[in-house]
Structure 1
Amino acid sequence: MDALLLARIQFAANISFHILFPTISIALGWVLCFFRWRWLRQRDEAWLAAYRFWTQIFALTFALGVVSGITMSFQFGTNWPGFMERAGNIAGPLLGYEVLTAFFLEATFLGVMLFGHNRVSERVHFMACLLVAIGTSMSAFWILSLNSWMHTPTGYTIINGEFHVQSWLAVIFNPSLPYRLVHVLLASGLTVSFLLAAISAWQILRGKAQLFTARVLRLGVTLAAVLIPLQIIAGDAHGLNTLEHEPQKIAAIEGIWHTERGAPLLLFAWPDAKTQSNRWEIGIPKLASLVLRHDPDAEIRGLNEFPDAHPPVAPLFFGFRIMVATGVAMLLVSWGGVWLLRRGKDALQLPRRFLWVLVGMGFSGWVATLAGWYVTEIGRQPFIIYGLLRTAEVASNVPASKIAFTLTAYLLIYSFLLIAYIGVLRHLAEKTVAQPASDLPADAALEKGV
């Protein structure tokens, strides 16, 4: 493999590892606020115990997200120096806003959130939790603003090959940001929902159910059942926006090699780039045109209209179907869980088979997120800024052998950290015993303070 491909794989490996943890911490921060709010309203020890248990998972997840994010940022200088040289006037400030308005907010109040209970008042502690949750969401906003601008660039001018800002509002609130932001936030909510349900189900199966286990499982299943229909709607809207601005990406997703009317929706096929055709097609006639254009006879542009400027088909074709299949599984499992719970089933007495299903779905949010992220980012190729700047133009001239060495090191370290992370989650689920609120004599006194 040449240096360009290795550099792309290395960046993909780094961002794949990094994105796993913000996908959890964004929504989990708000879930922790919910636990704290319920504790303040009801004084039920189960909610405080749930908060304490899941705060440990949040802290671990946050730490790994920070570490992997720092590593990822170095690659702009090592493997992609041309990107910051050409687009640094836009990318630099947006990344700086993320650090100043979001990361500093998270880092400042995370200490109060983790260690402040029983040292500051309940009100101050709740506000610290709320500010951490806001910070995680703001981080997502700024990163997605830059990423969306790379897909749908607006508000810029090019002078001597460098991008300059004409309107920050147009840059930040570019055409694809609202769809991408909603899609990612819902994906984070679904990831956390199934993680809540999976760890709770594991505790029940292992005979380690705690004071809060049943409530957290119910919350996870119910939240997933509410969010998955919203995600389907948001995903459809995002797809229509992509069709408008990046039609070659949609053509690759649907396996449409040549412009045609009444395009079928392919359930399965094997894209062949050499012959520019699909093998073993199984599809529903005219459904792609109906979904994408709301007209069964509408014309869908094919990849033939984008010579030398369209992404590889197979990764997008299969990645999109993995994401959709995972979403369908989320829908069936979450709605099945709600049905069981509404029939009067106690969360602690759910069928063991269903509990194992919940455990198996524990990291389904990661699968869907990575599949969707690959579709999005590979679908922008061969451009790093869509239609304006090709990826090959901004790559460094670092020898392929050196990139291969660091890529191997990254993969080994990330594999170890990921296994360790999952191992710690299992340890916490089986061994941690939450401290009852009755063991906190200072709580009543602290309530009176500010």
Structure 2
Amino acid sequence: MSLGLTALELARIQFAFTVSFHIIFPATSIGLACFLALLEWKWLRTHNPVYKDLFKYWIKIFAVAFAMGVVSGVVMAYQFGTNWSEFSRISGSVTGPLLTYEVLSAFFLEAGFLGIMLFGWGRVSPKAHFFATFMVAIGTCISMFWILSSNSWMQTPQGFAIENGIIVPTDWWAIVFNPSFPYRFAHMAAAAFLVSSLLVTGTAAWHLLKGRRDDLVKKSFSLGLWMVLVTSSLQVVIGDHHGLNTLKHQPAKLAAIEGHWETNHDHGMPLLLFALPDMNNERNAMEIGVPNLGSMILTHSMEGQVTGLKDFAPEDRPNVPIVFWSFRVMVGLGMLMLLMSLTALWLRKKGRLYQSDWFHRFAVIMGPTGYIALLAGWVTTEVGRQPWVVYGVIRTQDGLSHTVTAGQVGLSLIIFVLVYTAVFGTGIYYMLKLIKSGPVHIDSIDPQPAGLGRFKTPMRPLSAVDDALDTPENPKNNHRENPHD
């Protein structure tokens, strides 16, 4: 079952499919873990039960995303030994320890405190429960640290020597903190927070459109929009520095991102807004751009020189159309996220944030765009690195297992598609049902009179959360003031 493709092409498609499924769940759990820590911290400080009820709602969605992220990550890792055994043989002395550090530090930390976070309400003190939540949040960030370190090393490899055709570590500090790692780690962290904040914002906007105006929905909407504002603004700065780093260390990828074929020796490089890259004829069939702006952004000079794709051998160039357009999808959606958060600031000033249905519809539409931008960014990163699996060191074709056949990879790809659709499709469906149900009042009082809106009967939360907690630190009938949004 080769589907008319080579083993290399099928193996790349299979890895792209599994990693695309996988990345959406860790991104969700990283952002939501930090959001949950924020909610519990706010509850401990203010004793406002709204924060506690929001925690009990979002922890259910976090638990589903975390579980699916673990399962999909384990499955994806097996491909290093099946389809990409040569890559593992040559570079395993670097990538193997980095992934091991992730398991020993992050996974064990998360596993050690996750049970307390999920099942500890009423069984440990509030401060001990918050500590567990905080440790899980830290664990997700540590996991991201090691995964990004390994992937960044594949983009900008440093600190190694090659002995008998095998990569041997010589400087672990240079390996872990390779040239692109700081920028890629910051970029991914901001992306994860954007994914989760847009999810929170879109969920709250949905319920605002359905007529709910209680504190749970309004507080979710407000907190989500603040986080979108902060992270989308940060992404502009981080993305600029990341681009400069890419220009220095991966110039072919940068040229593909910009659709830049000819090195500009005596004039500025335009910033192309639209183009149809033609790899066969080494030109853009059509393009619309802003003169000199590309040079200004990348070199801080109106006529700064940027290396063009023609300066690289054809076999060393990535797929230009894919990289060009995936980058623009990511950036375009990022600009819309920033526009949404700035519009929210204006509506806050006007006192219309919770009454503007047109803005709520916009926020609902923007809800899933964090995932789309995340996937587009990873497509830009991974396709832009081609034809190298370790940039400038190991070609992708040389990392493929010698014995694997197109039929074998094709059959396993079909099985992956079927199983992933069934298993993770069910998980996503359940998450969407939780989102549709919305947060419910458990410890807080529903201030919305009967007959207003469509929220009627509260639903019991996931059994992982104990709603019977009444501690001296948080008397159930105290501190009922409405939060200030």
Which TM-score band (shorter chain)? over 0.9
**Match of 2:42, as an amino acid?**
R
Distance 1:383 1:118 in 2: 53
Aligned residue type for 2:238: A
Paired amino acid for 1:364: T
**1:207, distance to aligned residue in structure 2 (A):** 3.9
1:333 aligns with 2:340: yes
Matches within 5 A, 1:202-281: 202-207=206-211, 211-261=215-265, 262-281=268-287
CA contact (8 A) 2:28 2:192 kept: yes
- SS of the equivalent of 2:385 reads coil
Aligned ranges for residues 362-373 of structure 1 at < 5 Å? 362-373=367-378
The corresponding residue for 1:39 is 43
1:186 pairs with one of 190, 198, 210: 190
Q: Structure 1 residue 103 and structure 2 residue 107: aligned?
A: yes
Within the alignment, does 1:73 sit opposite 2:69 as a pair? no
Question: Which residue number in structure 1 is paired with residue 471 of structure 2?
Answer: 443
Who is 2:461 aligned against?
none
For 1:190, the aligned partner's letter is L
Question: Which has the larger helix fraction?
Answer: 1
| Residue 387 of structure 1 pairs with residue 377 of structure 2 | no
Distance 1:368 1:218 in 2: 22
Contact map agreement 2:64 2:431 (CA 8 A) in 1: no
Report deviation, 1:295.
Answer: 1.3
- Going from structure 1 to structure 2, the CA distance change for 1:53 and 1:5 (only over 3 Å counts) comes to same
Query: CA offsets per residue over residues 149-177 of structure 1, 9 Å max, x none?
Result: 11111111111011111111111011111
The residue number in structure 1 matching 2:431 is 425
| Higher alpha-carbon deviation: 358-367 or 128-137 | 358-367
Percent identical across equivalent pairs?
45
AA aligned to 1:285 is P
State the partner residue of 1:55. 59
Q: Distance in 2 between matches of 1:161 and 1:185?
A: 35
Shift of 1:45: 1.0
CA shift, 1:444, in A, is 2.0
User: Deviations 1:71-120 (Å, cap 9, x if unpaired)?
Assistant: 10000011000111101111111000000000111111111000001100
Distance 2:469 2:257 in 1: 59
**1:345-387, CA deviations, whole angstroms, 9 ceiling, x for partnerless residues?**
253x2x2221111111111111111111111111111111110
Given the superposition, is the C-alpha separation of residues 209 and 68 from structure 1 closer, same or farther in structure 2, using an over 3 Å criterion? farther
What's the TM-score, normalizing by structure 2? Answer: 0.89
Contact 1:144/1:181, CA 8 A, preserved across alignment: yes
The question of whether the paired residues in 1 share the 8 Å contact of 2:232 and 2:338 is answered with yes
> Quick one: distance in 1 between partners of 2:212 and 2:404?
52
Further displaced range: 281-290 or 74-83: 281-290
Matching residue within 414, 422, 425 for 1:408: 414
* Alpha-carbon distance between aligned partners in 1 of 2:423 and 2:288, rounded to the nearest angstrom: 40
- Alpha-carbon deviation of 1:409? 2.3
Query: Is this contact kept in 1: 2:99–2:146, CA < 8 A?
Result: yes
Question: Contact 1:206–1:430 at 8 Å: present in 2 too?
Answer: no
**Aligned partners of 1:232 and 1:132: how far apart in 2?**
28
The alpha-carbon deviation at position 416 of structure 1 amounts to 3.9
1:344 and 2:348 correspond: no
Q: Return the letter of the residue paired with 1:158.
A: I
Structure 1 residue 423 displacement after superposition = 2.8
Bigger shift: 118-127 or 209-218?
A: 209-218
TM-score by length of 1: 0.95
CA distance in 1, matches of 2:254, 2:415: 35
Q: Which residue of 2 aligns with 1:311?
A: 318
**Secondary structure in 2 aligned to 1:283?**
strand
How is 1:137-176 mapped onto 2 (pairs within 5 angstroms)?
Answer: 137-176=141-180
* SS in structure 1 at match of 2:472: helix
Structure 2 counterpart of 1:299: 305
- Rate the CA distance shift 1:49–1:441 in 2: closer, same or farther, 3 A: closer
- Which deviates further from its counterpart, 420-429 or 359-368? 420-429
Task: Provide the secondary structure at the position in 1 that maps to 2:284.
Answer: strand
Gap regions ≥5 residues in structure 2:
446-466, 476-485
**Corresponding residue number in structure 1 for 2:362:** 357
Measured in 1, the distance between the counterparts of 2:208 and 2:86 equals: 53
Unaligned 5+ segments in structure 1 are none
